[in-house]
Structure 1
Amino acid sequence: LGPHEQRDEMEEKLQKLENGFALVVSRIGNLQEREAHDQLLQVVADQKMYDVVIGGLLYGVLLDPVNASKYYKAMTLLSNGSWFCALCTMNMVLIEMYPRMHAEPRDQIFFFFRESIKVNVPKIDNVLINLIRNANDGGDLKESCKLLTGVVSLMNEHHAWLSGLKPKASLIPVALLTFSRFIYELTMASQYETLCSQMINLCQWWLKERFADCAQLGRDLVLLLMHLSKLPQFTAIWRQLLYAPNKLSSDFNGIEELMARPCPYNLLTHHISVTFMRKMEFILKYLPTAQEKHIEWIRLKHLSGADSGSLRAAWIRSAIYMPCNETTQCSAEARAILLATITAQSTSGVEQQWCKLNLLWDWLCYDPSVGGHIWLEPGYNALRHLLHMQPLLANSLLDFLVRMSAELHPPLRARITTSVANALKAISDFNIGSPSTIIDHHMVQKSVREAFRETFKIPARSAVVPSPTAPVPSGENKQTPSAGDGPSQSGSGESLSKLPKALQPETTSVELSEEMDGSDEKIGALLAAIKEEFRDGIESLSAASSADNEARCELTNRLISSLFDNYELLDSEQVELIAECFLTIFRKQLFSRKPLPDDFIPSLEIFDQIFSDPLYVIFRSFCMLSDEDAVRQPMLSLISEMRERCPSVSYLLLFFIFSGRGDQSETDTSAYRDLCRELGKPLMQQLVADLRVCHMDDYMLFGHLVPITFEKFAADAMGSVELMKLLVSCLDGNQVLNLISGYIHENITLFRKDSFPAMLTASLSWEPMAQVIFWQLVHGESVPIDWAVQAIPRLQYAKHPEAVSNIYIMLSRFDREPNMNLLRALLSRSSVDMFTADCLKILIREPESASRVAELLASLMERAIHAGDLTPQSLVGKQKRPNQRSVCLELLFAHLDQFRQSCLSKESNIAEQFLSRRELQSAFDAARKSDKVSTLRIRFSELFAVMEILCDDGAQNPRTSRRRAGKKPIDLSDDESKTKKKRQKPIVLDSDSD
């Protein structure tokens, strides 16, 4: 470690090695080899000291090259054929310490491996894997190539050992993954031609002689070879793979066998370094929202190097196969956001295409007989996020699937097309989500949607309404509302006809019965563990899947009543089982909801029809319970358990409450607040998460919920930066209009003064289009410039064009006299851009405002001269109030000098009239006479010269400098100034006599 490098969790481990080395040196000193070995054998006679001594010897091998052979011989003697302790210690060094080691101990690591291979240390190949893994860190390419050069030399020197590795050893596929990535990156780099050639030779040998080992990679071996397909050295491999697979291995049946086989996760983890992997796990575990700054942290550290293109794709493969469950505590949503963001960060077109292929490769290869549906979920969730983060990229991904199915390898076109179709079916069958959520999303282009449906034989979504004149086949007496069409269902055929066409169900009773076959089996398996008091109710409700909503609501009511009557039996296990039953019974409503139609207009009649669905009986029963009711907590646990398994539960509960169906007061939100507490999430964090999922599932419902959110949760919503970021990223034009209309009607307020500066500052890092929407809302609510004053010093002219231009608009509409607080904020900024000069020009358009600005500027100049605040350095330690920014004379002159250069000699002569004002001329006269300002006078000599010329012009034409009225008192406080009095125009009434 470096002498100034901070020691953290490695300190204790490193200290143990140092202590072990100190013990070894103290015992063997300058003794002969035999005597030294005897001394060490005496020490390790105490079994507790064995690990210490072995660690000390390894430390000596790495830190003392001169005596490394002596230490290694001693280690061989003490190990006595059992190298477990030594290999574990070396693994710890490679995983924990290698990234921060100096060059010399890194070189000694290769000495350790050479000696270990010579004496045939068992399982040394598994340790070598961790050394190779360090090349996949995205750091300095030279260091990575130096490491790979050492590894390649090691393998070439010990070819016999490499050939004798046991079958299906992990070293060969891991080395093949890493070497192939660097071969692709280094092919065009002449300085690494030798290294590249050696890696190619090794990869060719492995593929021809150890193909069974390479085949462990499964479909990722095909992906790897595609990356190298342009190299002539791999042409023969491709020919054999496609046309003569038996030449590679006698029991190998061809490329389709590889494509059907997923890659084991333990191999893909070595695609990136341990440091990189741990940072990714940290984000997935502890930062479920995957904030932008942490993703940027990953990018800057690991994905900005010379090999970032191929490493980004390697990271995508590793992230897809990383398990996200209760054991790993990884968030699937965070992984989806990370995948979407990293894919969108691809720089070149070729790199982005490669990242797309890595993201969706499991879709193109999916075989239901082999399984692996869990690896379809990351791509599906990433697509959902991209539809509102980067809709163009999401469309290109869908188009990419269509094109790849035809162009990847034409002879396999039918197989690949079937794989994608089976993947879409598995996404629905295994409750990952609904493909229609993506395909029918409003951001998907019509041409892409039609091509996708045609290629993968997905029927177009259309409402199937029973016709009164059509013949009814036997077995289909009448059409039954589908459980998958969400809250847009009714209780009977009579009420169905009253629903708008887009709200009518689209699934026939035959389709529904087929869908429910698997559900009945699952319910049957769950019933065995459910207590008898609840069993009959669940069984009856499950069996009534083909009944109308009125009958199902009645059965749901009975089941809820039995839960109420026997609530003391609802332990955590029963709650989980019953929640799973409800999710299975109401699967279609929850997992495959049909979005609200584009012409949705809220009304009591529509709500009555929507909430006649039996799912809402659960919500209604829960909302009607008082806080003191003993049944409330078990019901809360039940709904919470459903929400953990299905994210749509909570936003549908919110929809139910917002529609005035929660209780008699029609304003109670305690049910949702209690659910947030039960889930262990703050109100706004959960609300943002629910609205985000709602937007992906049903953007019309999202637009309906947003205004009511600001109405019902006003105190929390107005100050939430994350909520505002979600809104401006997701709202469409009509929804923005509805929000502004809600403000006009005094129903909602989006912003408040205390939180607006923080919100404005946060918006500077948002996407440009999101900032445009944000400022639309700001102007729609007529937010005054005073609220933005605290954020003005943080604005950068070139970096924040959206914010700067909208500050100009706010100033143009400013209907108050400027105050000292605003002037300080403008003048305390750096003078590197034109922002302050532009703002001054806007403020002096009106004569009264120009007069006030001149007075405030003169006052600031006089105060700075008197206090000696000449430069920024002179202000250090003088600021008394945290919200009051001090202004030094140097910055003030710099801004006025920019104003002079950019605004003088214009047709309006506004700038000349402003600089000629008596207050400013008096202040500059004081600056001329002050000895303190001599240095600044020389630096800004042109500004002083212009002011003197304008002073002379004003003396010759006294009318230009005459004050309109008596001098106003100067207010140096930071309070808001009074509204300017505007000249009132005479009112002219129309007359009939005209």
Structure 2
Amino acid sequence: MVVSKLVKITSHEAENQLELSLRQAFEVLEPKLRPPFSLTIPNPQEYSQLNRAILYGVLSQPHLAKTHIKHLHAIVTDGYALFLSLLVNVVNELYSKLFDSAKNQLLWVTKEMIAVLGVGFDSLLVCLLRQIVGGDFSDWNLWLCFEMVNIFLDKWDCLLEEEPLVLTSALYSFLRLLADHCRLSSPDKLDSLKTMEIEFCVKMLREQFHLCLKVGRDLIRLLQDLAYVPKFRAIWKDLVLNPSEFSTARFCDISQLYRSRTSSRYFLLRITPEMETQLRFVLTHVKFGGQKRYQVWFAKKFLLLPERETLIVDIVRFICCAHHPSNEIIQSDIIPRWAVIGWLLKSCRKNYVEANVKLALFYDWLFFDERVDNIMNIEPAMLLMVCSIPRYIDMTHTLLEFLFLLVENYDVDHNDIIVKGVSSAFTILVQKGVVHSMNILTCCAALSPFLKDKLHRLLSGSNLGVSKESQTTHLRPCAISLSFPDISCLGTPTPSPER
């Protein structure tokens, strides 16, 4: 077996075809990769092979990397498009298996590609952001996070001018990562990283808020987890009370963000390509009732460490908003999304994680507008509540309780928007046939009369009884965190539907 200088391969693993193609190109062309370089213009096939050979050389020969890059500059005819597409494939397919030296080289060549404004360097940055794993405090994961935030700060002017939207991807990623990093009990290890992450995010929010608006309503959800951080607390105050501080003519009120749906591309940012592949496989090919071994494997692979539990929030958001099965899948015996989410909810051990998972599940309900929103984003929560009756009625109870808790307390100054959003969500779910009628909940003998009464009033268009005391209160950091540590319904994980 040939030993790769690029990736770690165990004896039982098959060779990766991408790595093999790069290595074979390098082995064939290695004599031509040293000066003096040929002045002959390569044909398309030769050009493709040269790009592969040079990339392999850059990643596997750090001492010759500058020579290889000069060679690439000399032959490039496509604005580095092919080279960057190969880099993207390397990140997506090989990153976790790369030798440490190759990872270092990967970040080095990324900076080189930004410097020459290679075609597609923004896609490469997004792919690297996806490789930063939430809740992972290993040295190499924190190193990647540090390197990436450093790139976004160091190349700020260039990125702002050439590819400003990639800055919004970085904002989404680092806000989410900060929520994990700020909870770590041993801060010394993360001080410099957190400082840089906060610097970047605050710079975006204060200086480029018009770009931040493109993230949509999930920007608010992410900021909620950071409301206790002084610099973000100040931003919250301005969002609620002084929107003019952001010097953005289009922004007059926080409700504008509520009404703006977040694109699915942002939810992919916090799911690694490997996680995405496994989740899509389960939700596309695994039959309902036969998923347990896949769940066990997934949990051991991605959720085993206690700190990784926060990933469940990102996974639920991905399932709701970025994975929409076809009608053929929906009508088949493939495990439905709601069942996977039920399992994930049961996997939550920490109260604040469970609360944030439920918020991720219901978030689009709060501001639902059928002209803007997709019914598939709200379908899993409805089916999880309905399909848990009667065997797992505790799941139905805890979800409805949480939904009404959100309606009453999420933002009392915009309670009318939230009441309208949630009632619209229930209405459209019936109109589109996700459930035949709301009688399955309102007439359910096992459901709490208290919850049925609240549901009746919501569906009839009545206000849910927000107290006068809370009506005079603006969004508060203690409410924004949505951890609700004193709420009894969040005290223990709830049963999931049939696995």
Q: 2:144 aligns with which of 127, 134, 147?
A: 147
Q: What is residue 210 of structure 1 aligned with on the other side?
A: 208
Q: 1:124 aligns with which of 115, 121, 130?
A: 121
Letter in 2 for 1:132: L
Deviations 1:629-685 (A, max 9, x none): xxxxxxxxxxxxxxxxxxxxxxxxxxxxxxxxxxxxxxxxxxxxxxxxxxxxxxxxx
Indicate if the aligned counterparts of 1:23 and 1:53 stay in contact, CA closer than 8 A: no
Q: Mark the structure with the bigger radius of gyration.
A: 1
Q: What is residue 476 of structure 2 aligned with on the other side?
A: none
Deviations 1:473-503 (A, max 9, x none): xxxxxxxxxxxxxxxxxxxxxxxxxxxxxxx
1:146 deviation in Å?
Answer: 1.4
Indicate if the aligned counterparts of 2:284 and 2:325 stay in contact, CA closer than 8 A: no
Within the alignment, does 1:2 sit opposite 2:4 as a pair?
no
Q: 1:26 aligns with which of 3, 28, 31?
A: 31
Deviations 1:592-617 (A, max 9, x none): xxxxxxxxxxxxxxxxxxxxxxxxxx
Partner SS state of residue 376, structure 1: helix
Change (3 A) 1:3 1:223: closer
Partner SS state of residue 228, structure 1: coil
1:349 deviation in Å?
Answer: 1.2
1:81 deviation in Å?
Answer: 5.2
TM-score if structure 2 supplies the norm length?
A: 0.84
Q: 2:398 aligns with which of 385, 396, 399?
A: 396
Change (3 A) 1:45 1:80: closer
| In 1: Cα distance, 2:447 partner to 2:102 partner | 55
| In 2: Cα distance, 1:113 partner to 1:226 partner | 32
Q: What is residue 441 of structure 2 aligned with on the other side?
A: 438
| In 1: Cα distance, 2:74 partner to 2:328 partner | 40
Partner SS state of residue 271, structure 1: coil
Q: What is residue 168 of structure 2 aligned with on the other side?
A: 173
Change (3 A) 1:399 1:327: closer
Indicate if the aligned counterparts of 1:417 and 1:456 stay in contact, CA closer than 8 A: no
Q: 2:429 aligns with which of 427, 430, 433?
A: 427
Indicate if the aligned counterparts of 1:139 and 1:301 stay in contact, CA closer than 8 A: no
| In 2: Cα distance, 1:256 partner to 1:333 partner | 36
Letter in 1 for 2:441: I
| In 1: Cα distance, 2:391 partner to 2:45 partner | 57
Change (3 A) 1:166 1:96: closer
Deviations 1:371-406 (A, max 9, x none): 422311121122223445642232111011111111
| In 2: Cα distance, 1:291 partner to 1:383 partner | 20
Change (3 A) 1:28 1:126: closer
1:5 deviation in Å?
Answer: 4.7
Q: What is residue 361 of structure 1 aligned with on the other side?
A: 363
Q: What is residue 17 of structure 1 aligned with on the other side?
A: 22
Change (3 A) 1:163 1:231: same
| In 2: Cα distance, 1:101 partner to 1:80 partner | 28
Q: 1:107 aligns with which of 87, 104, 107?
A: 104
Relative contact order, higher structure (CA 8 A, sep 6+): 2
Letter in 2 for 1:153: N
Matches within 5 A, 1:27-42: 27-29=32-34, 32=35, 35-36=36-37, 38=38, 41-42=39-40
Q: What is residue 481 of structure 2 aligned with on the other side?
A: none
Count of residue pairs the alignment pairs up:
453
Q: What is residue 282 of structure 2 aligned with on the other side?
A: 283
| In 2: Cα distance, 1:405 partner to 1:769 partner | 25
Within the alignment, does 1:273 sit opposite 2:276 as a pair?
no
1:216 deviation in Å?
Answer: 1.8
Change (3 A) 1:327 1:419: closer
Q: What is residue 460 of structure 2 aligned with on the other side?
A: 457
1:305 deviation in Å?
Answer: 2.8
| In 2: Cα distance, 1:52 partner to 1:17 partner | 8
1:347 deviation in Å?
Answer: 0.7
Indicate if the aligned counterparts of 1:217 and 1:263 stay in contact, CA closer than 8 A: yes
| In 2: Cα distance, 1:221 partner to 1:320 partner | 17
1:768 deviation in Å?
Answer: 12
Q: 2:83 aligns with which of 86, 93, 97?
A: 86
Within the alignment, does 1:337 sit opposite 2:339 as a pair?
yes
TM-score if structure 1 supplies the norm length?
A: 0.44
Within the alignment, does 1:219 sit opposite 2:217 as a pair?
yes
Determine what percentage of the aligned residue pairs are the same residue: 19
Indicate if the aligned counterparts of 1:309 and 1:351 stay in contact, CA closer than 8 A: yes
Indicate if the aligned counterparts of 1:262 and 1:372 stay in contact, CA closer than 8 A: no
Q: What is residue 315 of structure 1 aligned with on the other side?
A: 315
Partner SS state of residue 276, structure 1: helix
Q: Superposition RMSD on alpha carbons, in Å? A: 2.6
Indicate if the aligned counterparts of 1:141 and 1:306 stay in contact, CA closer than 8 A: no
Q: Is there any run of 5+ residues in structure 1 with no aligned partner, and where?
A: 460-766, 771-994
Indicate if the aligned counterparts of 1:135 and 1:147 stay in contact, CA closer than 8 A: yes
Letter in 1 for 2:75: L
| In 2: Cα distance, 1:287 partner to 1:161 partner | 45
Deviations 1:225-261 (A, max 9, x none): 1121121111222122223334322112322121112
Change (3 A) 1:18 1:216: same
Q: What is residue 136 of structure 1 aligned with on the other side?
A: 133
Q: What is residue 260 of structure 1 aligned with on the other side?
A: 259
1:327 deviation in Å?
Answer: 8.8
Indicate if the aligned counterparts of 1:137 and 1:275 stay in contact, CA closer than 8 A: no
1:46 deviation in Å?
Answer: 2.5
Indicate if the aligned counterparts of 1:340 and 1:386 stay in contact, CA closer than 8 A: no
Letter in 2 for 1:298: F
1:115 deviation in Å?
Answer: 1.4
1:3 deviation in Å?
Answer: 4.7
1:458 deviation in Å?
Answer: 6.9
1:291 deviation in Å?
Answer: 1.4
Change (3 A) 1:19 1:228: same
- Identify which range, 177-186 or 304-313, moves more after superposition: 304-313
Q: 2:408 aligns with which of 400, 406, 415?
A: 406
